[in-house]
């Protein structure tokens, strides 16, 4: 909340009369999709234990018989190493590759949208606004189905595995979000600094790399981490296009365990995959919120 400063009020052109309280709802743009990580970091570690307790105490409230439920838990125990090793690792791989590709292209796109060249700027801006408005699931379908599964050059054969196509698809939303973050942060630095730098004979590129961007890095990192959490959670969508990540493998495991009733298996198996995602994202979300508070400029 801006307090009216009597000493400065004559210098600044702003008027103090119509004061509104700050709008506390932070999520105004799609880059700030921080619900999930805000919620994750605001929950205590106890809530994860609570989920575990629900999973263990489920047969007491449901009709599932205790012995059968114990069998289901034993079955889950046998599956855990496989689910983690070949399932969740793939989720992480998809997320990390998507973040790497998306960040590199996103920084380039963001810089292009700040360019003084009119054509470059408008191409970059329209690319951002087009991709930003398409649902992630649609992007996943479009990119992974339209890319060929191999590129056959005469000298070399490049095979594109399906997980790589999925991470290319997920790198598109990362790209536009990183571009918007770069743009917003550069705009958030006081514009007078550009003029000052120009008077000190910096060229625009030098101004950007030496003066403006160093001020932005710290406040970009929490947003980037939020994006990482969102992408990691979104990798579970890949099960809809048949990539063998953790949700697909959980389905598979439940199909294989035919001697136990399906309704008994649902909670431990899906609860386990939920827990894995929460356990991975929780520390990252905590870190993001901590950094955001640490580097936020209090007004």
Binding positions for other proteins, rule: CB under 8 A: 2, 14-15, 18-25, 27-30, 35-36, 39, 129-131, 133-139, 141-142, 145-146, 233, 240
- Is-contact 252 269, C-beta < 8 A? no
Name which of 37 and 207 has its Cβ closer to other proteins.
37
Q: Least distance (Å) from other proteins to the CB of residue 214? A: 27
Name which of 18 and 81 has its Cβ closer to other proteins.
18
State the Cα–Cα distance between residues 123 and 50, nearest whole angstrom. 50
- Is-contact 150 160, C-beta < 8 A? yes
Q: Least distance (Å) from other proteins to the CB of residue 33? A: 9
Name which of 74 and 126 has its Cβ closer to other proteins.
126
Q: Least distance (Å) from other proteins to the CB of residue 226? A: 14
What are the residues whose beta carbons fall under 8 Å from the beta carbon of 280, sequence distance 6 or more? 88, 92, 232
State the Cα–Cα distance between residues 284 and 287, nearest whole angstrom. 5
What are the residues whose beta carbons fall under 8 Å from the beta carbon of 255, sequence distance 6 or more? none
- Is-contact 186 216, C-beta < 8 A? yes
Q: Least distance (Å) from other proteins to the CB of residue 129? A: 6
State the Cα–Cα distance between residues 233 and 248, nearest whole angstrom. 14
Name which of 35 and 191 has its Cβ closer to other proteins.
35
Name which of 197 and 231 has its Cβ closer to other proteins.
231
Helix ranges, the chain (H): 35-42, 45-61, 66-82, 89-113, 118-132, 136-146, 162-188, 192-199, 204-206, 213-234, 246-256, 262-295
Name which of 141 and 202 has its Cβ closer to other proteins.
141
Q: Least distance (Å) from other proteins to the CB of residue 208? A: 27
- Secondary structure class of 159 (helix, strand, coil): strand
Q: Least distance (Å) from other proteins to the CB of residue 213? A: 26
Q: Is 148 exposed, middle or buried (0-12, 13-18, 19+ CB in 10 A)?
A: exposed
Name which of 98 and 143 has its Cβ closer to other proteins.
143
Q: Least distance (Å) from other proteins to the CB of residue 140? A: 10
State the Cα–Cα distance between residues 229 and 286, nearest whole angstrom. 11
Both tokens assigned to 224: 């980037």
């Amino acid at each position: 909340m801006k307090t009216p400063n009597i000493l400065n009020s004559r210098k600044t052109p702003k008027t103090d009369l119509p004061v509104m309280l700050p709008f506390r709802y932070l999520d105004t743009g799609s880059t700030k999709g921080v619900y999930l990580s805000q919620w994750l970091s605001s929950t205590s570690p106890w809530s994860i234990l609570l989920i575990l307790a629900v999973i263990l105490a489920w047969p007491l409230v449901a009709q599932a018989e205790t012995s059968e439920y114990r069998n289901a838990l034993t079955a889950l125990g046998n599956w855990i190493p496989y689910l983690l090793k070949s399932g969740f690792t793939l989720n992480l791989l998809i997320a990390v590759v998507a973040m790497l590709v998306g960040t590199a292209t996103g920084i380039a796109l963001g810089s292009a949208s700040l360019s003084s060249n009119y054509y470059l700027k408008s191409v970059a801006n329209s690319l951002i606004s087009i991709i930003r408005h398409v649902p992630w699931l649609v992007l996943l379908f479009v990119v992974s189905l339209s890319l060929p599964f191999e590129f056959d050059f005469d000298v070399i054969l490049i095979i594109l595995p399906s997980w790589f196509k999925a991470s290319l698809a997920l790198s598109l939303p990362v790209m536009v979000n990183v571009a918007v973050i770069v743009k917003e942060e550069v705009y958030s630095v006081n514009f007078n600094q550009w003029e000052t730098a120009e008077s000190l004979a910096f060229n625009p590129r030098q101004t950007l790399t030496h003066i403006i961007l160093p001020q932005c890095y710290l406040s970009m990192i929490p947003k980037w981490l939020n994006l990482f959490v969102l992408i990691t959670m979104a990798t579970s969508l890949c099960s809809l296009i048949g990539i063998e990540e953790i949700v697909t493998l959980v389905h598979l495991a439940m199909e294989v365990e035919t001697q136990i009733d399906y309704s008994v298996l649902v909670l431990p198996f899906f609860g386990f995959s939920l827990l894995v995602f929460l356990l991975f994202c929780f520390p990252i979300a905590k870190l993001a919120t901590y950094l955001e508070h640490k580097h936020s400029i209090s007004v």
